[in-house]
Amino acid sequence: MELDLDPGEGLLVRTPCYLSMAGGDVDVWGLPLEGGQLRIGIPELTLLVTARSRTTLRLEAVGHRIVRNPIPEEWWSAAEKARDAERVVILGETDSGKSGLLFYLANVLSISGLRVGIVDSDLGQKDLGPPATVAAAAFASPPLHPGLAEPEFLYFVGDTSPRGHLLQVVAGVRSSLDYLGRRPDVTLVNTSGYVSGSAARALKYHKLEVIRPDLVFVIGDRGEVSHLPRVIPPGPEVQILPGPPSIIKKDRSRRYAVRRARWIRYLSGASETKVDFSEVRALGTLLFTGRPSPAAASLASDLIGREINYLEISPDVVSILVEGGLSRAEIRALASSFGVEVRAAAPSSYDGLLVGLMSETGGCLGLGLLSDLNPGEMRGSVISRVKKFAYVKFGYIRLSRSLEEIGRREVAAP
């Protein structure tokens, strides 16, 4: 397909794609396209091509759309401000243009000679690294799109939403900044679109407390984001920027497709590794922290009138696996009987569970899927590309062998 672009006109391209210029000059997310062509095989990335002069393009892509005024003028002045900052945070609602601003700033700042660090704390719609993680990397040259690079650092949260995991997200951002240290001249921190409600406000406030940015860009319509500047702790300069008119609103099915492309990228080609949980420590779960008690399981079965698959007693909590889980009334009855907190889940909650595979020092080496968990025998399997690991950190999303999202382990599960 051949397309003509006028100066200042833009083209949104969905990868995989092949792009070549028959004449003219273009930028891709603010980065001049050198060599006249670009081929990207990684799926579900979005590129914004902007014509600097009358340009003829030859394009092969999954999808594309011509847009007018693709880069708001305010973004140019934002890049000038960011040159003098050490840490910049981007806030905004879902589909407001946060990622586009991140890509643009990363390229423009890198072109100016700065080494740019990126921390991606959006768990669901990742620009860098796999879903369910906070990811970080430093770039000595313009990244074009962070999704073309591999993250240098991962902090495993285990879910695609920060709800129920506010502390873990904040810890992940802090750990990412500690990893990058002072290598970057400027570090850009992208955030999720979770901005409404008291929990979301608390997350943003405490995340900004640990980041301590010099500059915060709030992107979106002033009326829709008017509450966000009031959530920001004292200290940084705050600027409200418009989103680009070229924003593509992603519906639920498109978001799912983008996430599945990331699951495939980081989990395809995995193989099974047997795990002995008497030697490999499990994190992010109450299982394996107490002692199995068949006698207590029998008594609990009599109390609720159905068989309990597994029961483990710790000084502060009783963990139970039972088909269908337990009702609130059953949990209250068992908690009264045992005199401690009771947590319960169905055994199927752990089948295909996303896990982080951790090093001796606690760094995330990669992702895997849990299978054949048998806590009574302290064993299970992990399906992953990572073969050597010291810890297995349990997550919350469940995936099928074909890497479709099929359910979740609840936050209250053991």
User: What's the pLDDT tens digit per position in 17-71?
Assistant: 999 998 889 999 999 998 889 999 999 999 999 999 999 999 999 999 999 889 9
Cα 194 from chain centroid?
12
35/384: higher pLDDT:
384
Boundaries of CATH 3.40.50.300 in the chain? Answer: 73-260
Question: Side-chain half-sphere of 354: how many Cα atoms within 13 Å?
Answer: 28
Which DSSP helix (H) or strand (E) runs through 202?
helix 198-211
Q: Are 312 and 296 in contact (CB under 8 A)?
A: no
| Tokens standing for residue 51 | 């014509």
Enumerate the β-bridge partners of residue 391: 281, 358
Boundaries of CATH 2.60.120.1030 in the chain? Answer: 2-67
E strands present in 131-283:
133-139, 153-156, 186-190, 215-219, 237-241, 271-276, 281-283
What's the pLDDT tens digit per position in 188-227?
Answer: 999 998 888 999 999 999 999 999 999 999 998 776 778 8
Hey, what CATH topology would domain 2-67 get?
A: Jelly Rolls (2.60.120)
Q: What is the mean pLDDT of residues 227-245?
A: 90
DSSP code of 310?
A: E
User: Which of 67-76, 115-124, 292-301, 303-312 has the least mean pLDDT?
Assistant: 67-76
| pLDDT at res. 407 | 95
Q: Are 257 and 371 in contact (CB under 8 A)?
A: no
124/253: higher pLDDT:
124
What's the pLDDT tens digit per position in 78-102?
Answer: 999 999 999 999 999 888 889 999 9
pLDDT band at 230 (very low <50, low <70, confident <90, very high): confident
CA distance 315 to 164: 24
| Average pLDDT over the chain, rounded to an integer | 94
Residues in the chain: 414
Phi, psi torsion values for 9, nearest 5 degrees: -80, 150
Percent of the chain whose pLDDT exceeds 90: 88
Nearest to 125 by CA among 46, 233, 52: 46
| pLDDT at res. 252 | 84
| pLDDT at res. 58 | 94
What's the pLDDT tens digit per position in 133-160?
Answer: 999 999 999 999 999 999 999 999 999 9
pLDDT band at 359 (very low <50, low <70, confident <90, very high): very high
Hey, what CATH topology would domain 73-260 get?
A: Rossmann fold (3.40.50)
Give the chain's end-to-end CA distance (angstroms, integer): 54
| pLDDT at res. 31 | 96
CA distance 282 to 371: 14
What's the pLDDT tens digit per position in 261-303?
Answer: 999 999 989 999 999 999 999 999 999 999 999 999 999 999 9
pLDDT band at 253 (very low <50, low <70, confident <90, very high): confident
Q: What is the mean pLDDT of residues 358-365?
A: 94
E strands present in 85-221:
87-92, 116-120, 133-139, 153-156, 186-190, 215-219
Q: For the chain, how many helices (H) and strands (E)? A: 7, 25
DSSP code of 412?
A: T
Predicted TM-score (pTM) above 0.85? yes
| pLDDT at res. 220 | 83
CA distance 174 to 172: 5
CB environment 304-341: b (16+ within 10 A), e (fewer): beeebebbbbeeebbbbbbeebbeeebbebbeeebeee
Residue with tokens 């600097």: 52
